[in-house]
Structure 1
Amino acid sequence: MAVNNHQISMLLEMAGRRALELGGRGGLYGVIDADYIDRVGNAFTVLVASLSPYYKNASPEVASQIDSFLGKFAYLDESDLDKETYFQGVEESARELKVLLQSLYF
């Protein structure tokens, strides 16, 4: 059974909420929300917002790790991506964000 696109967006919303320790949806003026992520081109904003607190005082090694992660998924900022490519990237980025955050929590 295929996962629908909104469910994929919810994966990234949940990862972003965990990263920012938000109790509910719609944090950061509605950015950390699956409805926002559903619009092609918006997922990258969620990734940047989710990692910003960790980047601020990061060691050079951690900053490099975050930069590499963001570089890998920078294409999710493109509003003209086809939906299939976009949502595959959203799903992959959500899963990799969870792993990255686990490594940052020490």
Structure 2
Amino acid sequence: MAMTDLLSADDIKKAVGAFAAAESFNHKKFFEMVGLKKKSQDDVKKAFHILDKDRSGFIEEDELKSVLKGFTPDARDLSDKETKALLVAGDKDGDGKIGVDEFTSLVAES
């Protein structure tokens, strides 16, 4: 499954383009722009599984760094600062990674 199976390719392009500049990523605005916030919890979980590249059941820091590439391959990597901020926002139990429930909460609160 690809992100374009869940979300509009145009929305993905616009959202990724809006955060093309380094240090500009805002997960709340991104999830809204890309259309993920309007999706059902099941669809948000599907998006999580696409972003969980190693299928560990968690999105770890290295996967967060390339989160935009999970939406479109030609996107940029997040900076270390942006990656840490996203991890802090999503990691509610402090284990250093984001589980599926943490991800759905992160998208919902956006």
TM-score for both structures, normalised by structure 1: 0.34
Greater percentage in helix: 1
TM-score for both structures, normalised by structure 2: 0.33
